Amino acid sequence: MKIHIPKLILYLVITALASSCAHKAFRSHNIIEQQQLTITPTPLEVHGDRVTFTFSAQMPVKMMKKGVKYTLDVAYVTEEDKEWPAEQSPEKGTHIGTVEFDGGLYENAKQAPIITKKMAFQYKNQYKKGYLVVYGTLATAQETRTFAPRRIHNMGYPVKGIATTSRLIRNPLDGVSNATGQSPFAYANTHWTPDDPLVKEYNIFFNQGSAQIVAHQDHNQQTLRLIQDAFKNMAAQLADPLLIPQWRVKSSSAHSPEGRISINQNLPAHRLVALTQRIQKTLNLFKYGQRQIQFEQTLDHKILESTWPEFKFWVQKSLLTQDQKSEVVAIIDGAGAFTEKEKKLQTLAYYSKITEQIYPKMRYAKMSVATPNVIRTRAYLENLLSKIGKGEGAANALSEDEYLFMVTTTPSYATRVLWLEQAVKTYGTWRLHNNLGAAYLDLALLTKENKYIDKALISLQKALRQKESGEIYYNLGMVYLMKKDQQKALEYFDKAIKIGGGRNQPFISLLEGIKGYKLMQMARTRHDGHYQTTYQVLENAATTVPNYFNTGLAYLLEGLDYTKAQQSFEAAVKLNPKDALSYYALAIVAARTNNSKHIYSNLEKAIRLDSDLRGQAWQDAEFFKFHQSLAFGEAVR
C-alpha cells in the first residue's frame, strides 16, 4: 500500500517565506499542495531484526531554485517520545535516513523531481508502538533553518506502529496434537512387513442344472482333499485359537447357456452356497471357532447375459476352428435375447463340440481364499508381545525389525513404550533406543508430563553413542525445544539436516519442516527470496499444523499471493479446529486484502479460543486502520 502525504513540509516553506525575501516565488499555496511523500509498505514491517521500507519524496518544480537545498530527515520515534521542541530534531528518536534536493539541479525540470531511497533500521521491542516522522532543513547561502518534525499522516490518521507478523513463525511442535496417532517425532524405520496373504483358489464343477457337489466329477475330489489338508495343516500350526485368521473370500459362480431361464438365474447362487457349506463343514471339523467361519466375502454371480463374456473367452480357448469361433462370437454379439442366441447355437453343426468343450467349464462355483501368513501375522506378533509384557514369553521371540514394525503401526504411545522397553533389553540397537526416545517424547506431548522428556534424553544419548543418525539428532532437537532451549535445539536440527533422512520418507518430510522453519527466520525483507524458498520447501513437509501455518505465513509476509496464504491457514484449521493462531493469521490476511467481514469473524474465533490474543489484536499494526470500526471493537471485546 502507498501513502501520499501532501503539505508534509508546510512549516519549512512558511518559515522560509517569512525569513527570506529571496524566496517570494514560494508563497503559492498550490506549490505546498503539490508536495508528496510515499512510504512502502505501510504499516512498517519487521523481518528478522530489521525494518526495511522505501521512502519516496516528490517536490514541486517551482520550489527548485538555484542556491537552495531541501533536506528531509526520516526518523522513528516511540509513542513515549512523541513530543519535541519546535525547530529541533527529536533527541530520543531513531534517525533512519536522509533525502536531499538540490534546487539548482532541477530548476529547469519539466516534471516534479522524485527521489526514492531504501531505508532500514534495527528493530527493538519498544518500537512496536511508535511513529515514522520527517523533519526538514532549508539551506541557502545566507542561512540554514531546521523545522520541527511532523508525523506522516494518511487519510487524516497518523501512520504508526510496526507490524510484527513475522514473529508469528511457529516451531515444529507449536500447535501439534499427537492425540490422533500422528507423531511429530522421528522413528527409525524398517522395511519388514508381514508376508502377503496366501491366496488359494478352490474350483468345484457341477452337472448341468445341478447345485449338488459330486466328489468324483472332474477334479472335484482332488479339490475337496486340498481344502481339507490346507485347513488341517493350519489348525496344527496355530495352537492358540485366537490367532486363527478370519478368511477373506472372493467368490464367483456361473451356469452354461442351455436350460430354462427359471433354473439358470438361481443356479449360480445355489452352487456357491453348496461350496460355502462344504468349507464351513471343514472348518468345524478342525474346531476353528465361530469367529473364523464368518467369511468376509465378495460375491459375483454370473447369470444369463452376464455369462457371455466368459463364454466367449472359452470359445477362443477351445478346439473349434477359427471360422467356427468367429461364427459363434457373431451370434453372441448379434441381436436377440439370451434364449434366442442359445437356440441359434443349437442349430450349428458343431454344437456338440460346444457342449463338450465349453459348457462344462461354465458350470462352477469358485472361491479365492486369502489368509494371512499363519506363522508371523500381526495378530500373532501382538499376542506374543502381550505375553512378553506379562512375563509369560521371552523378549527375543520377536526380531528387532518385527519390534520396529509393530511399534510404528501401533497408535498407543504407552503401548509403544512398553514394547520398546522390552526390546532394548534384548537387542539394544540405536534404532530401538531412538524409537524408545521418540515414544517417550510422544507420551510427554500427549500427557504434558516432563518426566518423559528426561527419559527420552537418556534413550537418545544411548542411541547416539552407537551411531550418528539424522533421526537421533532431530529428536534431540525436539527434546530441547520442549525444554525451551531454542539455541541448542537449532544446533541439533542443523546436524540432522546435514546427515539427512536416507530412505526414511516419514522422517524426510519432518526434516523439510525444520528446513522451512529455519529458512523463514533468515528473511530480512519481503523479497529477499527466503519466503519463496520457505514455501517451496514446505510443499514436501509433513502435514502438521506448524508446517501448514508457516507455509501460509511465508506467502503472507512475501505479500504476493494472499489466496495461497489463506488456503494454507485454512488447512491448519482443518487439521486442528481449535488452533487460535491460525484464525488470527486469517484475520491478518483479511486485513491485508481489506475484507473487513473476515477480519472480525476470524478475530472472534481466535479470541474465543485464546483470550490473550485480544490485547495482541489491539496493539497489532496490521489492524490499526480498523480501530475506529464498531465491528472491530465488538470482535475483540
User: Where would I find the H helices in 175-251?
Assistant: 220-237
Q: Which of 249, 303, 305 shows the shortest CA–CA distance to 275?
A: 249
Cell numbers describing residue 340: 434366442
Flag the least confident range among 243-252, 255-264, 312-321.
243-252
pLDDT given for residue 29 in this prediction? 35
Q: Report the predicted TM-score, pTM, of the whole model to 2 decimal places.
A: 0.69
Question: Do 501 and 540 form a contact (C-beta atoms < 8 A)?
Answer: no
pLDDT given for residue 6 in this prediction? 45
Domains in the chain, please, with CATH?
10-163 (2.60.40), 198-371 (3.30.1330.60)
According to DSSP, the residues that pair with 199 across neighbouring strands are 370
The answer on pLDDT for 194 being more than 70 is: no
Percent of the chain with pLDDT over 70: 84
Give the 3-state secondary structure percentages of the chain, helix then strand then coil, rounded to 5.
Answer: 50, 15, 35
Across the range 212-225, mean pLDDT stands at 77
Residue for grid cell 489491539:
618
The answer on pLDDT for 19 being more than 80 is: no
Q: Which amino acid is at 195?
A: D
pLDDT given for residue 256 in this prediction? 79
Extract the runs of DSSP E, i.e. beta strands, from 215-350.
248-253, 296-301
Strands 44-47 and 50-58, how do they pair?
antiparallel
Work out the pLDDT band at 297, boundaries 50, 70, 90.
Answer: low
Cα–Cα distance measured from residue 456 to residue 475, given in angstroms and rounded to the nearest whole number: 9
CA atoms in the 13 A half-sphere facing the CB of 317: 10
Q: Is 128 helix (H, G, I), strand (E, B) or coil?
A: helix
Q: Which helix (H) or strand (E) holds 37?
A: strand 36-40
Q: What is the pLDDT of residues 555-571, one digit of tens each?
A: 999 999 999 999 999 99
Q: Of 405 and 271, which is predicted with more confidence?
A: 405
Cα–Cα distance measured from residue 462 to residue 437, given in angstroms and rounded to the nearest whole number: 10
Work out the pLDDT band at 549, boundaries 50, 70, 90.
Answer: very high
pLDDT given for residue 33 in this prediction? 43
Q: Which amino acid is at 18?
A: A
Across the range 282-294, mean pLDDT stands at 57
Q: Is 116 helix (H, G, I), strand (E, B) or coil?
A: strand
Flag the least confident range among 284-288, 347-351, 503-507, 526-530.
284-288
Q: Of 267 and 415, which is predicted with more confidence?
A: 415
Strands 50-58 and 36-40, how do they pair?
antiparallel
Flag the least confident range among 90-99, 355-364, 472-481, 617-626.
90-99
Across the range 532-555, mean pLDDT stands at 96
For the chain, report the end-to-end CA distance as a whole number of angstroms: 28
Cα–Cα distance measured from residue 331 to residue 343, given in angstroms and rounded to the nearest whole number: 10
CB atoms closer than 10 angstroms to residue 106:
19
The answer on pLDDT for 69 being more than 80 is: yes
Flag the least confident range among 229-238, 248-257, 460-469, 580-589.
229-238
Across the range 361-369, mean pLDDT stands at 78
pLDDT given for residue 236 in this prediction? 55
